[in-house]
Amino acid sequence: MPELSMLDTSARAIEPLKADAADAAVRIAKANGSVLQIVFGLQKMLLDEAVFTSKEIVDRGRTETHLFSEFVSKMAGSHSVRDLKTMFEECSRHQIDFMRRDCERLFKHGERVIENASGLFAKWPRP
């Protein structure tokens, strides 16, 4: 009968191991779910960035074309040195305003990207 008592103690020793394995499996499943959330969130952010970049390229090209056509029409309309001076001052002012607005827009976009990234990693579970 000592064999039965040895089997009984080994069965009792296996049960905590099963419980530990089940806890480990649950933790791994939660970690995998969190990793998948972050990967899908990063994929969405990258796609959003690609869309934003394409829109910015088109918008910048349109604005530059408009500024250039305005420059050409004013250049054609100027008939004296004073008109040329005024035209260059106005066009320079327009170009500086465009660059200021562009930089402000990119700065706001950078802030939005940082907020999205920090929000994405805020979902990461802490041990």
**Which amino acid is residue 37, in one-letter code?**
Q
Residue among 54, 10, 48, 44 at smallest CA distance from 120: 44
* pLDDT tens, residue by residue, 38-69: 888 888 888 888 898 889 889 888 988 988 88
Percentage of the chain lying above the pLDDT 70 cut: 79
- Return contacts of 62-70, CB within 8 angstroms, 24+ apart: 63/98, 67/91, 67/94, 67/95, 67/98, 70/94
What is the arithmetic mean of pLDDT over 11-34?
A: 67
* pLDDT tens, residue by residue, 84-98: 888 888 888 888 998
Residue 127 within a domain: no
**Which amino acid is residue 91, in one-letter code?**
C
| Domain of residue 94, residue span | 2-122
| Domain count within the chain | 1
Residue 36 within a domain: yes
Q: Is pLDDT above 80 for 126?
A: no
